[in-house]
Amino acid sequence: MTSVTSNLAYIGPGAGFTFLSSFLVLFAAIGLLFVSLATWLIRFVTQWLRRSRSGLSGGVPCVVVVGLDGLDPQRLRRLIDDGRLPNFKALQEEGTFSELGTTLPPLSPVAWSSFTTGVNPGKHNIFDFLNRDLRSYLPELSSAKVTSTGKVSLLSKLGLGGPGVRLLRKNQPFWRVLGQHGIFGTILRVPITFPPEKFFGLSLSAMCAPDLRGTQGTFTMYSSNEADCVNSTGGTWVHVTEVNHRIETHLVGPPNESGRQPAELTLPLVIQRRPNDEEVVATISGQTIRLRPGQYSEWVHLSFPCGWLKRVHGICRFRLESTAPTFRLYVTPINIDPERPAMPISAPLYYSLYLGKLHASFATLGLAEDMWALNSGAIDEEAFLEQAYGIHAEREAMFFDALKRTRRGLCVCVFDGSDRIQHMFYRHNRKDHPANEGKDIVRHAHVIDEMYERMDDLVGRVRKEVDDDTVLMVLSDHGFCDFSRAMNLNVWLREHGYLVLEEAAATGDYFSGVDWSRTRAYALGLNGIYLNRADRESRGCVPADQAADLRAEIAAALRLVTDEEKQCRPIREVYDSRQVYSGAYVDNGPDLVVGFEKGYRASWETAVGGTDGPLFYDNTRYWSGDHCVDPQLVPGVFFSNHHFIDEHPRIIDLAPTILNLFGVPVPPYMDGKPLTRGRKTPAPVVDTAEPQAASVEVTA
């Protein structure tokens, strides 16, 4: 029995595995630490040499950038004056608070790309959320392209092949320049960083990272009311039938890359109801989830079998909206599982695994807050807010962890819940907002102000984490304004003969029915008008030598447009891209950029190439605030714990400023100029009555 006594530690395979894996990790960690210690001197000398060769000297040890997407300077001033934002006020008093010039157009992908690269859109190639395919004129995502061979190979049948993803943003992020000088960076959720680029640091992708279906977020709504089930933008409505308290349906997942049918991978979803009980039990992907009305589930891990060997992993959350009289179940877009990403969402690849293991699963979708679900009535405002703040909390946890680990170098995190909440609750600013019709205007009347207070609390906690030597910057990419009237630019172009439809053709979105041989201009995206140029578009008809005159002609005509119903001008300025952009990619962008007045925006139809409907109409959707107007009207904000003396800083200046702060030479291709640090004068004067004029980023 000697063996027995000596092996009593073994108490079954379960505990055995736990012991084994635990020791394995521990031993691997010891090995790694040993290697790390052994090579530390070499790495230290290499970095020192690299810094010496770069001539770095006198830089700050650490720069922390907190991006609060869409924070508006006017509202900030009001709330600071009301004493509701003590931490922003403290930053203002100890360092800098000014408006921050945004980009043209003032859209997040454009502005954050200029922040990232320090160049104008003509050099980074992001002009809007959408661009168009020059052959088909169909809209496509401007920031990333999924490349597929289109062939079904043995590898794809096995499930081992897959699509590639290419970042369309050009130029290099300034943190790569820092990395080349041995300065480490942690970059969290900065828009237009999908797919992630390798550099000396860590990054997690954000805006424009797709869901598992390859879209920018497609929710699923199950409803027992067939009338509900009409397809809406950003979501799929599924009619379900209950038999013996049981609903059998399926959840649509990613496209089937194995080349077999069905074209989309699905998972069976079984919902079991209990009589006289509001709780339902959903079974999916081998898991049982208990759902109560009005409550989100935790992140549920989904595993889609694809091919013989591969499984595609995603995560989603469920929310039971109601059980009776209508059964309604909402499922968030299926996010890429950070622990088993179907596409790279972080650099290095295992950074998302680290974050997933450390903080549990988190939203990885670029536009994670499901605005389309609220817009289409799938969820209510309460559910949207809960979701938005839940995602915000996930990012806070990641950011504060990164802040602790990035002792020297750059730490950037962008929080975009502030943008989403303002988009969806702006109607509460105006009682007569058309979006208020038939909606509650009391319950969430103060949501935006409360959101600013939450952001202030976040800033307060960040201030506690950073020391005096660290430069803290808090900024927004643009401000916000009302969106109560929509203008269809394609209808205006059609009415004025620039866009021509084929006779008796069916019209609709995606330029259906457009006669390209006679169309001279078309609008796509949120601010852009494109000429149908013979030397660029596949069916172009405008000769290159007539383009400048045509641009001037359309711009002049647009400046005079009047919204007859409201008796006001919807357009403040129309910019000729050749005059405001410079760089190798100017030709890829719109020829004209429309700067709307506050309250106006390009219609949803314009964004996707819709050519029919009214020229102007009231915006009655929850999506009631926006910033796709003239950039002079919606500057962002810039706070710092250090004093910068420049009166009109621009978002494009921040990349060179941060390089300068670290003592890294600013590359000559950058359009932005480094801001100048100075000493704080004892009596700062901020005129709260009249906002400072912000500069539009214009490059000669």
Partner 1 sequence: MTYVNSTANALGDFLMSPFRGANPWPGMLAISFVTAIVFVWVFKVFSNQRGLKRKKGRMMARALELLLFRHDMVVSLTAFGRLAAANFSYFGELLKPIAVSLIPALLLLIQIACWYEYRPFAIGEPILVQVDFSDDFPMMSREIECVSSEGLETETDSLRIPSLNQANWRLRARAAGFGWVDVKADDASVRKEIVVDDRLLKVSDRRVQSGFWDTLFHPVESPIEQAVPIKQVRVYYPHRQLFVAGIEVHWVIAFLVLTMVFGLLIGRLFKVSF
Kindly list the residues in this chain that would bind partner 1 in the complex (CB under 8 A): 1, 3-5, 7-8, 10-22, 25-26, 28-30, 32-33, 36-37, 40, 43, 47, 184, 200, 202, 286, 348, 350-351, 353-358, 360, 405, 407-408
Residue with Cβ nearer partner 1 (170 or 313):
313
Cβ 661 to partner 1 shortest distance, Å: 20
The strand pair at 346-347 and 616-618 is best described as unpaired
Cβ 470 to partner 1 shortest distance, Å: 15
528-531 sheet: strands from edge to edge: 521-524, 528-531, 592-596, 571-576
Cβ 645 to partner 1 shortest distance, Å: 33
Grouping H, G, I as helix, E, B as strand and the rest as coil, residue 307 is coil
Residue with Cβ nearer partner 1 (15 or 393):
15
Cβ 359 to partner 1 shortest distance, Å: 8
Residue with Cβ nearer partner 1 (349 or 544):
349
Task: Measure the CA–CA gap between 440 and 622, rounded to whole angstroms.
Answer: 11
Contact call for residues 435 and 621 (beta carbons, < 8 A)? yes
Task: Measure the CA–CA gap between 484 and 426, rounded to whole angstroms.
Answer: 10
Dihedral sign for Cα atoms in the order 502, 507, 513, 516: positive
Residue with Cβ nearer partner 1 (1 or 504):
1
> For 195, which DSSP code?
S
Determine the number of helices (DSSP H) and then strands (DSSP E) in the chain. 18, 32
Q: How far is the CA of 63 from the CAs of 94, 175, 413, 642, 658, in angstroms?
A: 16, 11, 12, 11, 7
Cβ 299 to partner 1 shortest distance, Å: 13
Residue with Cβ nearer partner 1 (10 or 308):
10
Cβ 18 to partner 1 shortest distance, Å: 5
Cβ 556 to partner 1 shortest distance, Å: 55
- 282 bridge partner residues: 271, 289
Residue with Cβ nearer partner 1 (341 or 609):
341
Cβ 8 to partner 1 shortest distance, Å: 6
Tokens 């499901």 found at: 370
Residue with Cβ nearer partner 1 (312 or 355):
355
Cβ 403 to partner 1 shortest distance, Å: 12
Cβ 320 to partner 1 shortest distance, Å: 21
Cβ 11 to partner 1 shortest distance, Å: 4
**Residue 286 class from Cβ within 10 Å (0-12 exposed, 13-18 middle, 19+ buried)?**
exposed
Residue with Cβ nearer partner 1 (7 or 231):
7
Q: Name every residue whose Cβ is closer than 8 Å to that of residue 503 and which is 6 or more positions away in sequence.
A: none
Residue 324: CB atoms within 10 Å: 9
Distance from the Cα of residue 290 to its chain's centroid? 31
Q: Name every residue whose Cβ is closer than 8 Å to that of residue 257 and which is 6 or more positions away in sequence.
A: 156, 159, 161, 162, 163, 306, 307
Tell me the CA end-to-end span of the chain in Å, nearest whole number.
89
Residue with Cβ nearer partner 1 (29 or 556):
29
Residue with Cβ nearer partner 1 (348 or 460):
348
Q: What is the DSSP track for 423-463?
A: HHHGGGG-TT-GGGTTS-SSTTTTHHHHHHHHHHHHHHHHH
Nearest CA to 395 among 363, 371, 424? 363
Task: Measure the CA–CA gap between 276 and 84, rounded to whole angstroms.
Answer: 46
Residue with Cβ nearer partner 1 (354 or 510):
354
